[in-house]
Structure 1
């Protein structure tokens, strides 16, 4: 309703203006040398308006003609960019499927279409890295790092490539410098923090890695290594305590605190650390450290009873009592504890990320490299083991 009313008002104004012009009196004469043109005032105004419209239309045509090359070039560039993006997406899909050869072919197509596009630079760098062309990978990632919006992808590619292409000191130092550049582009990146942790770990800078780590198991593992490699006794104790705080159920953390106190000459505190460790996380290594200075089998059995009292009934406590009783020729006592220790049989250090079994604890998994992933558990069953059905009694 309001639109119709507004349109009617505008129409009345236009009609009034036309009516006013049509009623204007007089004539207008224009001389062209020996020629003269005379028209009434309304006709002259109408002709002038038409002339102005023709002039505007002419200027518009000229401008359109002048802009045509730029528009054609823009459409061509857009088409090439779309083709490059499509080829880049196909390259990413091929990389996800593990087909590096097909990914490299699509990356080359994307480079021909739009060599400076961020997505093109990324897939070109990734395919070059996967195929072992390190110089080309570095060149593409460096170009991507200079991009205003996608610079972090370039720095990430450079860091990944540098750490995976070689692990020498120079490569690690260069990767460390590149992580600082990446922090400028994206300072709150979780990946960047984890990468700095891994780089510090690879360079044996365990204290720096522990300060950066936020995951408690990883921080505990790094703190243990920092305690073992600390130059001062006070620093070794502080890092061992940090490991216990981060992972109180990790036996090596308590062992590191025991070793740090023993190194400083705090023998009573060292023993107390082992008892606290047994109470929180019983493990044969804790018992071995606790009994290391006791030689007589019967004395070892008595000391084992004292240690086991910190966590009575635990399978590891029962296994410890069974071992020491058997060594002291206490057959009945050993048999009684062996029956209760079955739950601890077969435990090992197993990676929580890939289920790899390790003979001893270490800060990272030797297979997948995950820091702080080892736990004292029973290994999962081997998936290759075939379980045969039980024989059925004859009918």
Structure 2
């Protein structure tokens, strides 16, 4: 409707103009080069308008002819770019499908069609890695370092290669360089923290850990545990350097952060005993026992109450049972103290309770010791020892990464170098390991206390 009205309006304007011109007749005279031309005004106006139309049409035709080569080149580039992106897409699909030959073919095709090295070099590097050609992939990644827009991608590729090959020293160097390019990248902060921790650079790892938590790369609760482990390792380092005060303060900070973390409680209690602070050490053990009953805590507590008579020691160990009455460790600790005090009935009562909660080799061995000490019954003792041999393995510090076992806790696994991987559980595969606090020479770094 609107378009029809607009058309009628234009027709009305034309008619009005024609009427206006008809009411005002006149002639137009032109004298040029000895010629005289006279025509009615309306004829001259129509000729002028026709000339202007022909001139405009000629201008557009000439301009179109001039621009035709440019349009052909632009169209060719667009087609070429479209083919290049199609090849790039097909290459990405081939990477996802694990088709290395097609991926490399599409990478070469995309490189020839596109003038975008960041995309084509990345595809070429991934295709080379898919074919197992790490040397070629490394060359592509190194070439990417030469361009500011691709430097971080190249650094990431080289970092991934170094980690994959087990070259943690090179990986740490590359991770620190990459942080200089992108300081707040979550995955990079998490990787850098892990590498610094594995290298034994505890102070640097602690700073990176805080950044990683703020960036969301590491959950807050997990970060608390990692920081407690770092503080314990700094405590060990301070002790090796002869700085007892720093060793104690780091251990205290770790325990305050995670009161139920057994290694922190054990470390702090031992340092307090060394400093002749026996009552605070006993409180540390009792506080930790409430959350995590553990044989190492019982051993420390036994050393704390060693100066008391046997009956008093049993009464003191009863505190641990009150802290965690449903733990087998509580009853085993009291049972051992009762055997030493020759309280046979109480020892047997607590051992039976421990076995109800969960039979272990230690419980069977203590039963054997009880029958041998109370009744001098070697046959019964042998029966208990036979049951102990067939019972499940007692828990031990076991690496979650490689399954290696250790009798002592440490921040690093002595077998695979994994950080904060030792947990207290029954082992599945026994692997000979170094002491967990011994950092492999290839990873060693000067630590700051």
Give the TM-score category using the shorter length: 0.7 to 0.9
Indicate the structure whose relative CO is greater, using CA pairs within 8 Å and at least 6 residues apart: 2
Moved more, 115-124 or 231-240: 231-240
Task: Report what 2:144 is aligned to.
Answer: 141
Q: Relative to structure 1, is the Cα distance of residues 113 and 284 closer, same or farther in structure 2, using a 3 angstrom cutoff? A: farther
Distance 1:199 1:300, change over 3 A: farther
Specify the alignment match of 1:106 in structure 2: 106
> What residue is the counterpart of 2:323 in the other structure?
310
Matched-pair contact (CA < 8 Å) for 1:179–1:192: yes
The alpha-carbon distance between structure 1 residues 210 and 261, as it changes in their structure 2 partners (threshold 3 A), is farther
Q: Which position in structure 2 is the counterpart of 1:205?
A: 201
Question: Residue 359 of structure 1 aligns with which residue?
Answer: 405
Question: CA contact under 8 A between 1:322 and 1:338: conserved in structure 2?
Answer: no
Contact 1:347 1:379 in 2 (8 A): yes
2: distance between equivalents of 1:307 and 1:78? Answer: 79
Instruction: Determine the C-alpha separation between the residues in 2 that align with 1:283 and 1:33.
Output: 121
Structure 2 Cα separation of the partners of residues 267 and 290 of structure 1: 10
Give the C-alpha shift of residue 256 in structure 1. 3.6
Q: Displacement of 1:132 after TM fit?
A: 0.8
Select the structure of larger CA radius of gyration: 2
Backbone CA RMSD of aligned residues: 4.2
Q: Counterpart in 1 of 2:292? A: 281
Structure-2 residue corresponding to 1:342: 358
Superposed, 1:211-360 pairs within 5 Å as: 211-213=207-209, 214=213, 215=219, 216-217=221-222, 218-230=226-238, 232-244=243-255, 246-261=257-272, 266-291=277-302, 294=306, 302=314, 304-322=317-335, 330=344, 332-333=348-349, 335-342=351-358, 347=395, 357-360=403-406
Aligned length: 371
Alpha-carbon separation, structure 1, partners of 2:245 and 2:60: 83
Q: How does 1:22-101 map to 2 (within 5 A)?
A: 25-30=25-30, 33=33, 37-101=37-101
Distance 1:290 1:73 in 2: 86
- How far the C-alpha of 1:29 sits from its partner, in A, is 4.2
After superposition, give the CA deviation of every residue in 1:33-79 in whole Å (9 maximum; x if it has no partner): 45555433223222322332333333333433444444433433333
| Aligned position for 1:179 | 179
Distance 1:317 1:19, change over 3 A: farther
Residues 251 and 286 of structure 1 are in contact (CA less than 8 Å); yes or no, is this contact kept in structure 2? yes
Change (3 A) 1:296 1:63: farther
Q: Which runs of 5+ in 1 are unaligned?
A: 381-395
Q: CA deviation at 1:351?
A: 7.1
Change (3 A) 1:199 1:288: same
The CA distance in 2 between the partners of 1:15 and 1:369, in whole Å, is 95
After the TM superposition, which of the residue ranges 293-302 and 225-234 deviates more from structure 2?
293-302
Task: Determine the C-alpha separation between the residues in 2 that align with 1:377 and 1:23.
Answer: 112
CA shift, 1:348, in A, is 5.5
User: SS of the counterpart of 1:282?
Assistant: coil
Greater Cα offset, 160-169 or 213-222: 160-169
Alignment check: 8 A CA contact 1:200 1:206 kept: yes
Superimposed CA distance per residue, residues 193-215 of structure 1 (whole angstroms, 9 cap, x where no aligned partner): 21331232243222332333223
Once residues 47 and 368 of structure 1 are traced to their aligned partners in structure 2, the CA distance between those partners, rounded to angstroms, is 96
Give the whole-Å Cα distance in 2 for the aligned partners of 1:157 and 1:313: 52
1:181 shift after superposition: 1.0
Q: CA deviation at 1:10?
A: 4.6
Report how far residue 280 of structure 1 moved.
1.8
TM-score (structure 2 length as normaliser) = 0.65
Conservation of the 8 A alpha-carbon contact between 1:318 and 1:338: yes
Structure 2: state its 5+ residue gaps.
214-218, 361-391, 429-449
- The 2-side partners of 1:296 and 1:265 are apart by 16
Cα contact 1:125–1:140 (8 A) shared by 2: no
Contact 1:259–1:270 (CA<8 Å) still a contact in 2?
A: yes
Q: Distance in 1 between matches of 2:116 and 2:268?
A: 55
Q: Deviations over 1:318-346 (max 9, x none)?
A: 34445665677746246423323417766
SS at match of 1:122: helix
Q: Distance in 1 between matches of 2:418 and 2:36?
A: 98
Q: 1:324 to 1:82 in 2, by over 3 A?
A: farther
